[in-house]
Amino acid sequence: MSLSPRPKYTPALRGRRVLITGAARGIGAGLADLLTAHGARVALSGLEPELLAEVAQRNHAPWRECDVSDPDAVDRAVEELVTELGGLDVVVANAGIAKQLPIIGGQPDVMEAHLRVNTLGVFYTLRAAGPHITHPGGYALATASLAAAVHLPLLGAYSASKAAVEAIGNTFRQEIKPTGAKVGVAYYSELATDMTSRGFDTVAGKKLTGGGTVSGVAPVEAGLRALERGIAKRSRRIAAPGWVPPVVPLRHVAQRVIELKPMPELEESLAIARTEQVDYTTAQPTTSRKAL
């Protein structure tokens, strides 16, 4: 995914040294392409080394295969990549996974995996990169989701992990404020990425949504353009597509609307999900850390 840069924002991005996790595909890969087109220097980490190498090659970027659920691996990757960049201005904690999970009858390891990757992975990334971006002009972006604010059936593990990411981002913002650095939290609804297509492409998910998604799928460009503007401005909040920004502060109203919406297939969907065998949206290493 490659977007031509908008000149309006080029000065704020040119020369910026940016570390992106989860950069093998989707938002991470697209963001690497876009920031490089603006003149930024990117470094990449993630799983799926063949895909990651392709993204790195076209962006002339250093990269490391890294499981964000392993704090030692994150520490090593961040230190090595920051050294190769010669410093760091921006870190984008983007890596994440999704998989359906009913609360009753759901498998504990699915909840644990979400917390390891989505929540602890962001913590480990910000912990490692924090000392490098805590300077005037520094910026950290924690990738949450609209699911952090509005919660739906089958997405309990994903929503819980992303709500925790929001809390980490908000806390980190206050802790590094004296250094002049800023922290943003990103909120996306369904964008046209592999995560969305794989996450909703289940029997239970199709039954619940009638074969689509909850809010419809927006082009991935909507998320990338929001990131382009937000990183340039070091924004507190980045949200996409365009209808999402007002929903985040009105989350309690939105949640009530969701709960009042009829879901005639809900019970059957939950029953299917308790036995349906589905994969994570990104395959996880078999050696991934088990303890929380």
CA atoms of 238 and 226, how far apart (whole Å): 6
| Residue 113, CA distances (Å) to 64, 150, 229 in order | 21, 21, 32
Which amino acid is residue 222, in one-letter code? A
pLDDT one-digit tens code per residue, 158-183? 999 999 999 999 999 999 999 999 99
Per DSSP, what are the bridge partners of residue 20? 44, 92
pLDDT score at 205: 77
pLDDT one-digit tens code per residue, 28-43? 999 999 999 999 999 9
pLDDT one-digit tens code per residue, 195-229? 666 656 788 877 886 655 555 678 889 999 999 99
Say which DSSP state 212 is in. Answer: S
Which amino acid is residue 124, in one-letter code? Y
pLDDT score at 199: 58
Instruction: Say if CB 135 and CB 182 are below 8 A apart.
Output: no
Q: Please check the confidence at residue 149 and state whether its pLDDT lies above 90.
A: yes
CA atoms of 139 and 87, how far apart (whole Å): 13
pLDDT score at 291: 47
Side-chain-side CA neighbours of 61 within 13 Å: the count stands at 32
Q: What angle do CA 133, 225, 8 make, to 5 degrees?
A: 80
Give the burial string for 91-103 (b: 16+ CB within 10 Å, else e). Answer: bbbbbbbbbbbbe
Strands 90-93 and 17-20: parallel
Q: Please check the confidence at residue 67 and state whether its pLDDT lies above 50.
A: yes
CA atoms of 242 and 234, how far apart (whole Å): 18
Percent over 90 (pLDDT), the chain? 76
pLDDT score at 282: 79
User: In the predicted model, what is the mean pLDDT of residues 266-273?
Assistant: 91
pLDDT score at 207: 81
Say which DSSP state 155 is in. Answer: B
39: phi > 0 → left, psi -120 to 50 → alpha, else beta; which? left
pLDDT one-digit tens code per residue, 41-60? 999 999 999 999 999 999 99
pLDDT level of residue 3 (50, 70, 90 thresholds): low
pLDDT score at 287: 56
Domains of the chain, start order: 17-274 (3.40.50.720)
pLDDT one-digit tens code per residue, 72-128? 999 999 999 999 999 999 999 999 999 999 999 999 999 999 999 999 999 999 999
Sign of the Cα torsion 48, 70, 224, 200 reads positive
User: In the predicted model, what is the mean pLDDT of residues 277-290?
Assistant: 74
